[in-house]
Amino acid sequence: MSVSALLTIALAGIALLLFLIIRWKVQAFVAMMLVSLLVALAAGMPVGDIVSTMIAGMGGTLGSVAILVALGAMLGRMIEVSGGASHLAGRFTQILGPTRVPAALTAAALVLAVPVFFDVGFIILIPIIYGFCKAAKVDPIRFGLPVAGIMLAVHVVVPPHPGIVGGAAVVQADVGWITILGLLLCIPLAFLSQAVAARINRRRFAMLPATAEQFARFGEAAEDTPATPQHNTLQSPSAGVILTLVIVPLLLIMLGTVGATLLPKESALRGILTLIGAPVFALMVAIGLAFALVARQQRWSLDRTNEVMESALPPAATVILVTGAGGVFAKILTATGIGAALSGAITEIHMPLILAGFILSVALRIAQGSATVAILTTCGLLADAIMAGGYSAVQVALLVIAIGFGGLGFSHVNDSGFWIVTRYLGLSVADGLRSWTVLTTVLGIAGFVMTAVLWALI
């Protein structure tokens, strides 16, 4: 089949995927599986090979993604239920001082966002944001906007979040390098989120009546509400404990990456560091620490601890399935030759691959809203070009991160995160577009520019 025909099939497949998700509200997993099947048929793949190819795509992706997402969700759930986030935010505020509360909350959000999914992490921090805003007599958007911005930035480029982990699996990228580089790039983005949000907040945004009422009543009901079984009279884990749970696995992953880079292949130490630096091993260590430092401190029984951990799995299952479906789509694009055709087209127009990845991811993000779907689909489209390009492990990691930043910007009404942020901060749709959409777009473009600079230097 000709290159033009293959590219036409790819465009038609993406258009159908977007139509199913946006217009007909078809669940993303079902939509991606259906489109994968139709693209395979349209591209002339032998009928007998289609199902086996789809299974291979699902298995190849979930082999690494499912474990990471599940362990990450469990760790985040233990932090959530134990109330450790409030201590983390409070401690950062004590260190930076009451006059720097927005910066303190943003710094705490940067740390908390590593093990906790964006929507869950933001909802966890909302009571803390409300409390500080009431004390400072300001609207929630003042402190909440930069917090949400940096949490979403971490969500799209730092493992174990599903989009970036799934994208790494599709193009066989090194998760360790993605973790190191993604975190390094998110640190300056935290400062930028604070600065851009402060500029946006020069404008006065009217709070929605329902949110205004909720905000006005915040703290009043809490005084009369007895402690729940989860949040009893025991003190929540300290900020040091939460930092330990986040930093230890990150350090292990970094050790493994450094060892694989600097030590010879025959080195026994390299083998040991490769084991302890594997993301799955690092997260298992973090779960073990959570048992020792959180469950015991909270006096949870083994049954209670298991209940908390298992409660993280139903939401994670949906994320895992969508990520696996992205792997199926990517496998079909590769097996039909569509990926190779797109790679050749990019080469002919002389567009840098890192820019092509960012633009494709942005376009998909704008069209259908999900950052995870945008990242996975783009990685699938460019998998052949990336893996055939002879790039180093660091370069491949930067390519995936650039695609991740494409999924950060332009959050608007088709993004569930848009509604979470605007609902809790009391923003109308128009004000959400003027504030949240602008902030995510600035952060996405800035993240890509920094990634492109690193690409040029390397």
For the chain, domain boundaries: 3-220+235-457
Rounded Cα gap, residues 127 and 237, in angstroms: 17
Residues 29 and 325: beta-carbon distance below 8 Å? yes
Residues 372 and 159: beta-carbon distance below 8 Å? no
Rounded Cα gap, residues 95 and 69, in angstroms: 32
Question: From the centroid of its chain, how far is CA 418?
Answer: 15
pLDDT tens sequence for the chain (458 residues): 888 899 899 889 888 987 887 788 888 789 889 999 999 999 999 999 999 999 988 887 777 678 887 888 888 788 878 877 667 777 777 777 767 888 888 888 898 888 878 877 787 778 778 878 887 788 999 999 999 999 999 999 999 888 999 999 999 999 999 999 999 999 999 999 999 999 999 998 999 888 888 888 766 544 443 333 344 446 788 888 888 988 888 888 888 888 887 888 888 898 899 899 888 898 899 999 999 999 998 989 999 999 989 988 887 787 788 778 877 887 888 788 887 787 677 767 888 999 999 999 998 888 777 898 889 889 988 998 998 889 999 999 999 999 999 999 999 877 878 888 988 899 998 899 999 999 999 999 999 999 999 999 98
Rounded Cα gap, residues 11 and 20, in angstroms: 14
Picking from 130, 304, 340, the residue whose alpha carbon sits closest to that of residue 219 is 130
Cα angle value 419/420/421 (rounded, 5°)? 90
